């Protein structure tokens, strides 16, 4: 099994808090991570009907049987147990006593932070990052990665991407969406997800989505909010700090796994990803999400934005890190062109204190242009952007 890069942060947090909570989408590897970090702890999964029934009927008795602590998996199935857990850790606050995992429940984070305020550290685990994928692939082809995605089980068990994502969506829709949204007819929800995938890297337009599906704007907003809280979507807000020019207000759409986005959009092969209309958006998705994972794996809350004004001037990604504002341009091309720097140059005129930034592209050459570093996928995976 792959050692996840977040493991160091997991162990550090477990030495500081009596409870550690790990959020993330289904199949991101939360249970495996917990078992790898804490092999001596018993694990109880509330996906098991017997465990869930016991937690519902006698939560205090269940926790009393776990005095030395445990891994409590899929905690979103029995959120009421958090109140009983609070009293238990207050009576005996031993560091790293309980490890909680949870997914696909927007209200769960609020319940955890309210019931266990000051008692738990909270981390988020997304599917593999590029550096972790090195255990499976010694060389990278960006468009192969875009189609296969980064879910651990897909690579560990060598499942065909189309089979994995079909089963994943069926599970997600049939179990999680019905539970969260009480959606009777799943077809409009599926259609909205497919349209969102087809618009990766674009500004979200709720009115357009409503017109294309016949679903009301408030309903689509609610669905998107759930997809974001469930760690399926990543919405990138616009950067407007200290900028007087008019900037666009909508966020940009990305998926936390580019393979899922490609599959939903009907992109099935690396060739289709490389030659199709979605090439730029999917590649941008891959790079932004990998940088996002790097921050999460360090226990940080990513501060990611984009810049675009009403005249079409744009910078793909703006990162606030270590008191710096870092502009980044992302290009799927394999050949470097000097005009790749245009967006960064424009942004730095608006924000003179911004760092020189980076151009992240799909080629092999590493160079500089006006102090801006030009890096490829290997450098991205090695964390060069945050060094």
Give the dihedral of Cα atoms 306, 311, 313, 319; nearest 10 deg. Answer: -20
Q: In the chain, what is the greatest distance between 2 CA atoms, to the nearest angstrom? A: 66
The residue behind tokens 């769960």 is 108
| Separation between Cα atoms, residue 98 and residue 104, nearest integer Å | 20
For the residues 219-234, what does the mean pLDDT come to?
A: 91
Distances (CA, A) of 93 to 55, 118, 175: 21, 11, 35
Q: How confident is the model at residue 123 (pLDDT cuts 50, 70, 90)?
A: very high
What is the CATH number that goes with domain 7-124? 3.40.50.300
Would you place residue 40 in the very low, low, confident or very high pLDDT band (cuts 50, 70, 90)? very high
Model confidence at 326, pLDDT cuts 50, 70, 90, reads very high
CA geometry: angle 325, 329, 242, nearest 5 deg = 35
Q: Of 225, 201, 213, 227, which Cα lies nearest the Cα of 329?
A: 201
What CA–CA distance (Å, rounded) separates 273 from 294?
Answer: 24
Predicted local confidence at residue 244, as pLDDT: 65
Is the pLDDT confidence value at 295 over 70?
Answer: yes
- Predicted pLDDT of residue 242: 72
The count of other CB atoms within 10 Å of the CB of residue 17 is: 21
pLDDT at position 239 over 80: yes
- pLDDT category, 105, cuts 50, 70, 90? low
Q: Counting every residue, how long is the chain?
A: 387
Residue 315: band (very low, low, confident or very high) from pLDDT cuts 50, 70, 90: very high
Q: Of the ranges 20-29, 56-65, 97-106, 151-160, which one carries the lowest mean pLDDT score?
A: 97-106
* pLDDT of 114 over the 90 cut: no
**pLDDT at residue 104 greater than cutoff 70:** no
The pLDDT of residue 279:
96
pLDDT computed for residue 135 by the predictor: 84
pLDDT exceeds cutoff 90 at 128: yes
Share of the chain above pLDDT 70, in %: 99
Range from 104-113, 166-175, 204-213, 322-331 carrying the lowest mean pLDDT: 104-113
Q: Which pLDDT belongs to residue 145?
A: 94
Best CA proximity match to 96, nearest among 36, 40, 20, 34: 20
- Map tokens 């995992």 to a residue: 101
How sure is the predictor about 237, in pLDDT bands with cuts at 50, 70 and 90?
A: very high
DSSP 8-state assignment for residue 24: -
Q: Where are the domains of the chain?
A: 7-124, 130-386
Q: Is the pLDDT of residue 90 over 80?
A: yes
pLDDT (tens digit per residue) in 373-382: 999 998 999 9
If you search the block for the tokens 């099935």, which residue do you land on? 268
Rg value, the chain, Cα: 22
Structure tokens at 383: 């964390």
On whether the CB atoms of residues 203 and 252 are closer than 8 A, the answer is yes
d(CA 109, CA 103): 9
Q: What is the pLDDT of residue 369?
A: 93
pLDDT of 217 above 80: yes
Asked if the model's pLDDT at residue 248 lies above 90, the reply is: no
Q: How far is CA 292 from CA 2, 54, 138, in A?
A: 19, 38, 22
Q: pTM of this prediction?
A: 0.94
User: Would you say residue 311 has pLDDT above 80?
Assistant: yes
Cα dihedral sign for 298, 302, 303, 309?
Answer: positive
Q: Supply the pLDDT for residue 257.
A: 97
Question: Confidence band (pLDDT; 50, 70, 90) for 230?
Answer: confident
User: What is the mean pLDDT of the segment spanning 73-81?
Assistant: 91
Q: Tell whether the model's pLDDT for residue 226 goes beyond 90.
A: no
Dihedral sign for Cα 12, 14, 16, 21, please: positive
Nearest to 221 by CA among 242, 197, 250, 201: 250
Packed helices 106-115 and 217-229: angle between N→C axes, nearest 10 degrees: 60
Dist. CA 225–CA 228, nearest whole Å: 5
């Amino acid at each position: 099994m792959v050692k996840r890069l977040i493991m160091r942060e997991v162990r550090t947090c477990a030495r500081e808090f009596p409870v550690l909570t790990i959020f993330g989408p289904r199949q991101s590897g939360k249970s495996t991570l917990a078992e790898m970090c804490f092999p001596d702890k018993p694990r109880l999964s509330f996906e098991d009907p017997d465990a869930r029934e016991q937690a519902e009927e006698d939560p205090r008795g269940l926790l009393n049987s776990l005095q030395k602590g445990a891994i409590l998996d899929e905690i979103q199935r029995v959120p009421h147990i958090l109140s009983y857990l609070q009293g238990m850790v207050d009576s005996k606050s031993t560091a790293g006593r309980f490890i909680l995992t949870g997914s696909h429940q927007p209200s769960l984070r609020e319940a955890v932070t309210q019931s266990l305020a000051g008692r738990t550290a909270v981390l988020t685990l997304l599917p593999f990052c590029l550096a972790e994928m090195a255990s499976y692939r010694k060389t990278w082809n960006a468009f192969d990665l875009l189609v296969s995605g980064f879910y651990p089980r897909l690579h560990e068990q060598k499942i065909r991407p189309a089979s994995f994502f079909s089963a994943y969506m069926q599970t997600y829709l049939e179990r999680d969406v019905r539970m969260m949204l009480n959606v009777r007819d799943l077809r409009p929800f599926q259609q909205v997800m497919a349209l969102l995938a087809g618009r990766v890297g674009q500004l979200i337009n709720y009115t357009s989505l409503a017109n294309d599906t016949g679903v009301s704007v408030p309903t689509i907003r609610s669905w998107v909010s759930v997809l974001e809280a469930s760690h399926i979507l990543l919405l990138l807000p616009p950067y407007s700090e200290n900028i007087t020019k008019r900037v666009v207000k909508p966020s940009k759409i990305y998926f936390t796994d580019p393979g899922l986005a490609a599959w939903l959009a009907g992109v099935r092969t690396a060739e289709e990803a490389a030659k199709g209309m979605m090439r730029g958006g999917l590649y941008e998705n891959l790079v932004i999400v990998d940088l996002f994972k790097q921050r999460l794996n360090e226990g940080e809350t990513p501060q990611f934005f984009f810049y675009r004004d009403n005249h079409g001037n744009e910078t793909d990604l703006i990162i606030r890190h270590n008191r710096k504002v870092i502009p980044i341009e992302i290009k799927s091309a394999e050949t470097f062109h000097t005009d790749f720097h245009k967006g960064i140059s424009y942004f730095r005129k608006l924000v003179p204190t911004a760092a020189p930034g980076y151009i992240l592209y799909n080629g092999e050459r590493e160079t500089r242009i006006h102090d801006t570093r030009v890096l490829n996928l290997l450098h991205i995976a090695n964390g060069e952007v945050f060094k």
